[in-house]
Amino acid sequence: MNLVLSLRISAFSVLLTLCIFCTAFTTAFAQPSLRSFTPTQTSPGGSIIITGIRFTGTTAVSIGGTPASAFTVDTDTQITAIVACNNASGEVAVTTSAGTARLAGFVFTPATLLITSFTPTSGPPGTVVTVTGRGLHCVTQVTVGGVAATQITTTLSNQTSMSFTVPSSAATGAVTLTSSAGSASASERFTVTTPAPTITSFSPTSGAAGTVITVTGTNLTGASSVSIGGVAATFTVNRDGTVSITVPSGALTGVISITTPGGTATSGRTTFTVVPPTPTITSFSPTSGAAGTVITVTGTNLTGASSVTVGGAAAASFTVVSPTTITFVLPNGAPSGTITVITAGGRAVSDGTLTVRPTSVRIAEEYAMRIFPQPANGAVTLEYSLLEASPVSIEVVNTLGRVVFSQPISQQGSGIQRVIVPLEGFGQGVYFVRVDIGGRLATVPLQVVR
């Protein structure tokens, strides 16, 4: 019994050894085998033909220890492989699921780098530059004025052309390419220009002086001047690249323009509408007077006034002295009432009422008051007749209400009175002679010529 058991165990051991040997033999027999490759020396982009056996199912081909750029299993006995830029001299290896076969002797020749030209030769950051030359398919880095470029585009099958994008921080300078073969610089410099600004929108689209407008666009950093309708405005370039503009007091409806080192951008057909500011009346002086009295109105935004009325009656004449001051002459027949000033920005009405006294013209007629000669130059004579002795004072005012001549109160007797008024220092224009006779005010116009 023991002898039989021993014989069975010995037979099993022999069979097991034979199976292990068969498996090893079969695996070794299935591995790929390399016989040759040609050419034995080439540069990136070149192809080599690899011959051998059992290439079907090849999963990888390496040259000098790194993967080939691409390979094609032509037949079970031939593979065509493309040399990559990062390959090196050394073994050619073919890998299948059964194993890897290697054959030494490949000589890697780096692609010589040469720049013959590039276009364009100038432009702002973001410009795409095309380079022509040799060995460009293996370029790994490009600098412009020492600053690394972005979006480098190369094709292994095209060693004579490549492109890159000028970086945002680039400076005018040399174009330098780098590959495994070394570095090469172009003989011509690339000139980095400032990009042209653009305006894409602004808000609000209308407003009065003092309104702040936010302008959105591109390349607005570095703005040196801004205008609205051709009128210069103050501005601020914000961190986010927008520009804040304050509408100036003299701005006109029109396009917005922003000038930078890269040029001038306008809002095109889209205009900013300047809305005239609303006028206001804060005070007026005097608060009462007869026809012919010059009233001075103080307020804001009075420039461009088109109408001045008192109690609804239009002023005999008015003058816009400044944005804050208007003078006007009380017309005949005007009733007491509020003062109204109308501008393009709206209507301003006084809080107080102007009291209109009886016309000084009738009073002047009562005293037979006249001035001669008219028009005058040098001096004039004021003549009037008093029915009884009265205190009299005389003053001459211009259309702005400013007193340019005065004679203190003096007691005068009855009868015809004559007063000489010198006109030295009077400019050409209309003046008003006001005569106060015992508290009754008479006004007579005076025209001076030069």
* pLDDT digit string, tens, across residues 325-361: 999 998 888 899 999 999 988 999 999 999 887 665 6
**pLDDT tens track for 181-206:** 899 999 999 999 988 999 999 999 99
In CATH, the number for domain 360-448 is 2.60.40.1930
Question: At 364, phi and psi to the nearest 5?
Answer: -60, -35
Query: Reduced to 3 states, what is the DSSP secondary structure of residue 338?
Result: coil
The DSSP element (H or E) to which 19 belongs, if any, is helix 2-30
What band does 154 get if pLDDT is binned at 50, 70 and 90?
Answer: very high
CB atoms under 10 Å from CB of 8, counted, come to: 9
pLDDT band of 395, cuts 50, 70, 90: very high
Cα atoms found within 13 Å of the Cα of residue 407, Cβ hemisphere only: 19
- Identify the pLDDT of residue 29: 59
CATH number, domain 202-274, options 3.90.1150.10, 3.30.2320.80, 3.20.20.70, 2.60.40.10: 2.60.40.10
pLDDT in tens, 277-311: 899 999 999 998 877 889 999 999 998 899 999 99
Nearest CA-CA partner of 298 in 330, 329, 338, 341: 341
For domain 33-108, say whether CATH 2.60.40.10 is its number. Answer: yes
- Per CATH, the number for 280-356 is 2.60.40.10
The torsion angles phi and psi of 21, rounded to 5 degrees, stand at -65, -40
Place of tokens 């015809």: 416
**pTM value?**
0.50
Among the listed residues 341, 261, 267, the one whose alpha carbon sits nearest the alpha carbon of residue 302: 341
DSSP 8-state assignment for residue 316: S
Structure tokens at 87: 């390959």
Share of the chain above pLDDT 70, in %: 93
CATH class of 114-192: mainly beta
Cβ proximity of 177 and 138 under 8 Å: no
User: Quick one: DSSP state of residue 110?
Assistant: P
pLDDT tens digits, 69-87: 999 999 999 999 999 999 9
Check if the beta carbon of residue 218 is closer than 8 Å to that of residue 171: no
pLDDT at 290: 77
Strand 60-63 to 122-123 pairing: unpaired
In whole angstroms, give the CA distance from residue 377 to residue 450.
7
Q: What are phi and psi of 389, to 5 degrees?
A: -60, 135
327: Cβ contacts below 8 Å, ≥ 6 apart? 294, 295, 296, 297, 318, 319, 321, 399, 400, 401
CB 216 within 8 A of CB 230: no
Q: What is the pLDDT of residue 364?
A: 84
Q: Give the pair of three-digit tokens for residue 310.
A: 């008192």
Q: How far is the C-alpha of 47 from the C-alpha of 39, rounded, in Å?
A: 8
* Alpha helices per DSSP H over 79-220: none
Do the beta carbons of residue 440 and residue 358 sit within 8 Å? no
Distance, CA of 418 to CA of 436 (rounded, Å): 15
**DSSP calls for 160-185:** EEEEEE--TT--SEEEEEEETTEEEE
